[in-house]
Amino acid sequence: MKRTLVAAAMLALTLAAVRPRPAAPVDDSARLDLGGPDDVSGFARATEPRPLRLPEDHGPHFEYQTEWWYYTGNLAAGDGRAFAYQFTVFRRGLSPGDPPAEPGLRTNQVYFAHLALTDEQGQRHVFAERWGRGAADLAGAAAEPYRVHVDHWQAHGNAGGGVRIDARHEGFGLALELEPRKPPVLHGDRGLSPKSDEPGNASYYVSLTRLATRGRVVLGGHEFEVTGESWFDHEWSTSALGPEAEGWDWFSLQLDDGRELMFFRIRRRDGGFEPASGGTLVERDGTTRRLGADELRIEVGDHWTSPRTGARYPAAWELHLQSPALRLRLEPIVADQEMRTSIVYWEGAVRVSGTAGESPVQGRGFVELSGYHAPMQGLF
C-alpha cells in the first residue's frame, strides 16, 4: 500500500517536476499557466474486492489512473559483501483507457522508473530516475509476455517462469534473475487495500514477498556476482490522499524463520495516524494474516538528517506485534538512502534482529519514508 501513496503522490505530481539532469539550469522566468485542474473523472476506482486473474493482472490496468511495479531486494556477493536494490516502474494514466493505437508518440500514459543500489561495505547509495511516454515502445507495461520498462530499464518474464531485471545507469546497474518462492499475496480484503475510511480510497495490492534472486550488480566499474532475496509489489488505483495526510512509513521485512511482514502507517499532520493503516503477515506456507492499525506498535529509536535536503528521517525502529508475538529491531544498512528524485523520499534496506516468541530471529527488509522533505498533501 505504501507505495500506493508514494506513487500516487509522485504521479499526481504528474511526474512533472521532472528534472532528470540536475545540472541543467532551469530558467524560472517562464511560468506556465494551464488554467484548470486535470480531469480525473472517468477512471475506475477500487471499491470492491475482485478476483485475481493471472497472468493478466501482472500487466497494466489502464482503467485506473495510477499503477506501479516495485522490486526491492537484499543481496550478497560471494565474499559476503552486502548490496540492496530498488527498481520500480510507475505508470500514470492521463486519461482513462488504453493508449491510442497510433504509430507516433501520441499517448495518454506516462511512465517513470527509479533505480537504486546500496553498498553496505562502501556505505554508498546511488540512484537514478528515467521518464518515458507510453508510446512507440519508449516505456510501457504488458502482461504477456510480462514486461515493464522505461527505455532499456526493464523487468521482463524469463524462460523459467521468473522475472529478469536489467537496468544500467552511468556507474551502476543490475542484471538479476528472480524466482518466486511463494504464491502471490493479496493484501487487505482479498487484495483491496484501503487507504482511508472513505470508500474508493483504496488500491488493489498484490505482492510476491519472497523471490530467490541471483545475478550481477555493477558499481563503480566493478561487477559482483550476487545472490539474495527480493520482494515484488504490484498496485493499481485511482485515489487521493485526504487533506490531513502528511506522508507515510512503510515496511517490508523478510525473516529468517520463513515469514514476511508488510506494514504501513499514514502519518497525519496532527501527529496521529490514519486508522486505515495496517499490514499483512505472511506465514512460511504462504498463508496470510491481515494486521490492523492498532495491532503493531512502532517506536522510533533514532533520527538521521539529510545533509543534502535537510529532511529529518526516523533511522531506527522497534516493532512490537502482540500476536503472534514478534519484537523486531530495524536498522538501516546505510544511513543515507535518500532518493533525491522528482520527489524526495527515503527508501532503503534495513537489517532486522529480534525475537519471535522466545526464539531469536534475524532478517532483512526495506523501509520507505515519505513526506519528510515536503508534505505529500497538496500534491494529489
Partner 1 sequence: MLPRTLLATGLRDLLRRPLHTALLVLGVALGVAVVVAIDLAGDSARRAFVRSTDAVIGRATHAVHGGPSGVPVAVYRDLRRRPEVSAAAPVVEATAFSESLGRTSVRVLGIDPIAESPFRDHLGGGSLRAPGFSRLFTEPAGCVISAAAARRHGLALGGPLRLRVDDRALELRVLGLIEASPDRAAALEALVLLDVGVAQSLLGLGDRLTRVDLILASDADPSGLAATLPPGLRLAPASEQAQTAVQLTEAFHLNLGALSLLALVVGMFLIYNTITFSVVQRRTVFGTLRLLGATPGQVFGLILAEAALASAVGTLAGEVLGYALGQGAVRLVTRTINDLYFVLAVGDVPMTAAVALRGALLGMGAGLLAALPPALEASRVEPVAALRPSTYEGRARVLLPRIATVGLALALCGAAGLGVSDGVTAAFASLFAIVLGTALAVPLLTATLSGWAAAPLGRVAGSLGRIAARTVERSVSRTGVAVAALMTAVSVTVGVSLMIASFRATVVNWLELTIRADLYVGAPSGGGVRATPAIDPALPARLRALPGVADLETIRRVRVASGVGEIALGASELGATGGGLYRFAPGSEPDPWARVQAGSIIVSEPFAHRHRLAAGARLEIHTDRGPVVFPVAGVFYDYSTEEGQVLMARAVYERHFDDRAVSSIAVHAASGTDLAGLAARVREAAAGRALFVTDNRSLKREALRIFDRTFAVTDALRLLAVAVAFVGVWSALMALHAERTRELATLQALGLTPGLLRKLGLLESGLMGALAGLLSLPLGALLAWILVDVINVRSFGWTMELHYEPWLFVQALALSLAASLLATVYPLWRLGRREIAAALRHE
Residues that bind partner 1 (CB under 8 A): 13-21, 24, 26-39, 92, 94-95, 102-108, 110, 112, 131-133, 135-138, 151-152, 170, 379
Q: Quick one: 27 or 79, whose CB is closer to partner 1?
A: 27
Spatial distance between the Cα atoms of 263 and 272, rounded to a whole number of angstroms: 16
| Minimum distance of partner 1 from residue 230's CB (angstroms) | 24
**Three cell numbers, residue 294:** 492498532
Q: Which is nearer to partner 1, 27 or 358 (CB)?
A: 27
Considering the complex, state which of residue 19 and residue 284 has its C-beta at the smaller distance from partner 1: 19
Nearest CB to partner 1, comparing residues 137 and 302: 137
Of 74 and 370, the one with the shorter C-beta distance to partner 1 is 370
Choose between 33 and 270: whose C-beta lies nearer to partner 1. Answer: 33
Nearest distance from residue 203's CB to partner 1, in Å?
A: 20
Query: Minimum distance from CB of 373 to partner 1 (Å)?
Result: 15
- Rounded CA-CA distance 230/264 in Å is 19
Of residues 291, 247, 253, 290, the one with CA closest to residue 272: 247
Distance, CA of 288 to chain centre: 20
| Cβ distance to partner 1 smaller for residue 19 or 269 | 19
Three-point CA angle 338, 233, 79, nearest 5°: 60
Nearer to partner 1, 20 or 310 (CB): 20
Least distance in angstroms from the C-beta of 23 to partner 1: 8
Q: How far is the CB of 21 from partner 1 (least distance, A)?
A: 5
Query: Which backbone phi and psi does 3 adopt, to 5 degrees?
Result: -60, -25
Distance CA 129, CA 136 (A): 20
Nearest to 73 by CA among 168, 163, 206: 163
Please tell me the distance from the alpha carbon of residue 180 to that of residue 184, in angstroms, as a whole number.
9
**b/e per residue, 65-81, with b = 16+ CB within 10 A?**
bbbbbbbbbbbbbeeee
**Within a 13 Å sphere around the CA of 85, how many CA atoms are in the beta-carbon half?**
29
**Shortest distance, position 138 Cβ to partner 1, whole Å:** 5
Q: How far is the CB of 321 from partner 1 (least distance, A)?
A: 39
| Smallest separation (angstroms) from partner 1 to the CB of 358 | 52
Contacting residues for 344 by C-beta, under 8 A, at least 6 apart: 309, 311, 338, 373, 374
d(CA 339, CA 333): 15
For the CB of residue 130, give the shortest distance to partner 1 in the complex, in Å: 9
The C-alpha atoms of residue 81 and residue 331 are separated, in whole angstroms, by 17
Q: Looking at beta carbons only, is 4 or 65 nearer to partner 1?
A: 65
The DSSP bridge partners found for residue 356 are: 326, 359
Name the CA dihedral angle for 192, 196, 200, 205, rounded to a multiple of 10 degrees. -30
At residue 316, the 3 state secondary structure works out as strand
The residue length of the chain stands at 380
Shortest gap between Cβ of 115 and partner 1 (angstroms)?
14
- Nearer to partner 1 by Cβ, of 13 and 163: the residue is 13
